Amino acid sequence: MNKSTRKTVIAGNWKMNMTPSAAKAFITELAPMVAGKDGCDIVLCVPFVDIAPAVEAAKGTNIKIGAENVHFAKSGAYTGEISADMLNEVGAEYVVIGHSERRQYFGETNETVNKRVLAALAGGLKVILCVGELLGEREQGITEEIVSLQTKIALQGVTAEQLKNVIIAYEPVWAIGTGKTATPEQADEVCGIIRGVIAKLYGAEASEAFTIQYGGSMNAKNAAELLSKVNVDGGLIGGASLKTADFTTIVNAAQ
Ligand code: PGA
């Protein structure tokens, strides 16, 4: 297992935070703090209306901008939805798909996650695919089954070539926004299980090159230890991505 063959990606997930003017101010402040930190890719996934100002503010910096969701249709009568083409044109490079909050509160299923993944890839976006077990599922001992199933269904129809534009974020639902982080060992174990699924589906070489993040209360204090694990290739960060100093500390931990 050689971590150096993989890209480390530190991605913020702002969720429903930051107005467009706040987004601009945040990125203007962050940019000099993370300038030249080339040991990882730096991404901010932001609310739809923040994308254009964020892209503008991030021009000429090493910060990439992503969305937090995408609809699976190319266009049509889907009131309130946003397509991959729209995201692409406004300058989003990444999109988060299948976040547990979408699954919990907005009826997202493994099947709709799969449709979104296919649409995003067809539309030229890079996908941050979220998988993770509920607390009850972990207690029942079915974490491996749950994340394997989520991974397999989400990737149905994704070609080996397209897989190069996918990364997975392992986010145990019980650790998201709770301040309860998975131990580095737990994070490493499940990221390793996911890597095993990728190996089965796409082969050993593809799985060795595949980026798998950990997410769930990753912060300035615990990032270095989590990121030191062999199967953890980055982080998807909620709360701590809303403060430039904390986010910078996590980026530094990934160098
Ligand atoms: P958190 O969120 O870092 O606030 O736990 C992570 C996420 O939901 O991606």
> Does the structure show a pLDDT above 80 at 124?
yes
Q: pLDDT tens across 125-145, in order? A: 999 999 999 999 999 999 999
Q: How would residue 2 be classed by pLDDT, with cut points 50, 70 and 90?
A: low
Distance 182 CA to ligand 1 centre (A): 12
The pLDDT value recorded for residue 1 is 54
Tokens of 111: 């099947």
Which residue, by CA, sits nearest to atom 3 of ligand 1? 238
Q: Which H/E stretch holds residue 151?
A: helix 143-154
Give the SS3 label for residue 87: helix
Q: How far apart are CA 15 and CA 1, in angstroms?
A: 33
> Does the structure show a pLDDT above 80 at 18?
yes
Distance from the Cα of residue 52 to its chain's centroid: 20
Residues contacting ligand 1 via CB (< 6 Å): 13, 171, 176-177, 215-218, 236-240
Distance 175 CA to ligand 1 centre (A): 8
Q: pLDDT tens across 163-219, in order? A: 999 999 999 999 998 888 999 999 999 999 999 999 999 999 999 999 999 999 999
Residue numbers annotated as active site: 99, 171
The pLDDT value recorded for residue 130 is 98
* Under 8 Å between Cβ of 156 and 195: no
Q: Specify the pTM.
A: 0.98
Pick the CATH number of 9-31+39-241 from 3.40.630.40, 3.20.20.70, 3.90.180.10, 1.10.3720.10: 3.20.20.70
